[in-house]
């Protein structure tokens, strides 16, 4: 937790000021893949709010990573479950605010998982366990979000061809020169 506390505030501040312009900030914030791993660990330790902060930052940085959309949906689903268990444990009717929170978490989970599923197909990903779990969760949540089913996602439209890491590195190297 201490290590996340060391870089997350700097990341949020850099994000708020529209980019990682300060070289010091760039050096203190872990690489993208490390932050995905951190989000997974935070979810496993039920530090959902911090995981959401990390995942939101990752989505703002790159919104075409299936795993981040999936993890965002998964954490919302877990938060929804926790809220439902809390109410069931108290054996009382949910207040209007508690019901609204539960419904918002459910809809957020559906939206994130729907996006993960669509990106998975669009990008031709090969991580079948993510796809299977997203499908299972969507089934439990009532299916894909209607907005995405009816209108399609404009960000996923068109002929998008994913490039390999090698091609990305070559493009980055060409831009630096």
The string of pLDDT tens digits covering residues 76-128 is 999 999 998 887 777 778 889 999 999 999 999 999 999 999 999 999 999 99
Q: Band of the pLDDT at 172, cuts 50, 70, 90? A: very low
pTM of the model: 0.73
Angle separating helix axes 66-90 and 96-123, nearest 10 degrees: 160
Question: Are residues 14 and 37 in contact, defined by beta-carbon separation less than 8 angstroms?
Answer: no
Instruction: Provide the pLDDT for residue 154.
Output: 42
**Domain range annotation of the chain:** 2-176
């Amino acid at each position: 937790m201490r290590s996340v506390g060391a870089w997350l505030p700097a990341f949020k501040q850099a994000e708020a000021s529209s980019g990682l312009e300060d070289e010091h900030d760039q050096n203190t914030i872990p690489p993208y893949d490390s932050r995905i791993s951190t989000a997974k660990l935070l979810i496993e330790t039920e530090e959902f709010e911090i995981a959401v902060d990390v995942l939101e930052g990752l989505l703002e940085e790159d919104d075409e990573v299936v795993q981040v959309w999936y993890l965002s949906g998964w954490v919302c689903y877990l938060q929804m479950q926790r809220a439902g268990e809390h109410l069931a444990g108290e054996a009382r009717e949910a207040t209007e605010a508690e019901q609204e929170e539960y419904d918002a978490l459910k809809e957020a989970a559906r939206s994130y998982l729907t996006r993960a599923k669509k990106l998975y197909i669009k990008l031709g990903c090969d991580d079948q366990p993510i796809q299977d779990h997203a499908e299972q969760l969507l089934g439990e949540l009532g299916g894909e979000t209607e907005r995405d089913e009816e209108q399609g996602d404009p960000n996923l439209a068109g002929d998008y061809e994913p490039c390999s890491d090698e091609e990305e590195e070559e493009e980055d190297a060409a831009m630096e020169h």
